Amino acid sequence: MLRIIDARTGEPVDAAPARRGLTRVEAHASGCDASGLRVLLVADILVRALELSGTPVWSLLSGGREQAQELRAAAAALGIRPFEDGRGAGTALGEAQIVHVAVEGVDTAAGGVRIAVAPVDATVPAVPARDDDPAAWRLALLSRRHTRHVRLDEAALDDARRTLARWRAAVADWARQPSRPVPDEVRGRLRGAWEDDLDVPAVLRVLEWVGTDPDLADGARFETYAYADRLLGLDLTRDLGRAA
């Protein structure tokens, strides 16, 4: 069960209710900058985690029309899936939980659970250039827990690019071997990580372990990375068929 820390109370709560119902995820981005995009990215990860657990989700973006349009364009560049317009949204049929995602210190003045996202210290543009890999921005922003400040600079992006190149080459190579299911222990570690207040850095550490554990078959490594990428959205299978 995915549990998150409610920024209002400091207590862990279920992101989805015990009774099966719709969870509304509402992103409150304060501006079209790196911090605002990190809010959308955390909301995107939350939506993906809920969907992986079989929870129906309604994702909304709050803000003015012009700001929302600009944010949607920037978010699309980072592979963040679209959010519906949250202005004037009522209660959906079957809605059982509301989760608000906002920069820390911002009060959404609405009921429900609130996820606080630490701001970004950025020295590079928040959106990659047309010829750059947007997954590097995603990975750099996901490298620290959403409750901790993150620095987005060329050093962080270079590190993310190197990691992505290494992982994608390995995934393409493993794909040439017979497929094997994701081991139960590995699946449990992955889910245990992201269900613990969206601890994405712990998910990344599990992938590093999977990539080097000599007891795992290459086919299982491939399936594990493909499975984890349903949460991460890093396009880790991009280079399939390109391995030497």
- 66, 99, 117 - which closes a domain: 117
Which pLDDT score, from 0 to 100, does residue 111 have? 79
Distance of CA 81 to the CA centre of its chain: 10
170 and 108 assigned to the same domain: no
30 and 105 assigned to the same domain: yes
Which pLDDT score, from 0 to 100, does residue 243 have? 47
76 and 136 assigned to the same domain: no
Q: Which residues of the chain have pLDDT under 50?
A: 243
3-state secondary structure of 55: coil
- 70, 100, 117 - which closes a domain: 117
138 and 237 assigned to the same domain: yes
Which pLDDT score, from 0 to 100, does residue 65 have? 64
100 and 140 assigned to the same domain: no
Which pLDDT score, from 0 to 100, does residue 227 have? 98
Which pLDDT score, from 0 to 100, does residue 154 have? 97
Report the phi/psi class of residue 115: left, alpha or beta, with left for phi > 0 and alpha for psi in -120 to 50: beta
Output the CA torsion sign for 2, 22, 27, 164.
positive
109 and 170 assigned to the same domain: no
15 and 80 assigned to the same domain: yes
Cβ(177)–Cβ(137) below 8 Å: no
Segment 139-183, tens digit of pLDDT:
999 999 999 999 999 999 999 999 999 999 999 999 999 999 999
The DSSP bridge pattern shows strands 57-62 and 84-85 to be: parallel
For residues 198 and 234, what is the distance between their CA atoms, to the nearest angstrom? Answer: 16
105 and 134 assigned to the same domain: no
Cβ(164)–Cβ(133) below 8 Å: yes
Which pLDDT score, from 0 to 100, does residue 230 have? 97
- The residue range of the domain holding 98 is 3-117
* Tokens 């490594």 sit on residue: 221
For residues 45 and 140, what is the distance between their CA atoms, to the nearest angstrom? Answer: 14
Which pLDDT score, from 0 to 100, does residue 239 have? 92
Which pLDDT score, from 0 to 100, does residue 206 have? 98
The DSSP bridge pattern shows strands 12-14 and 3-5 to be: antiparallel
For residues 225 and 172, what is the distance between their CA atoms, to the nearest angstrom? Answer: 11
112 and 190 assigned to the same domain: no
The number of distinct structural domains making up the chain is 2
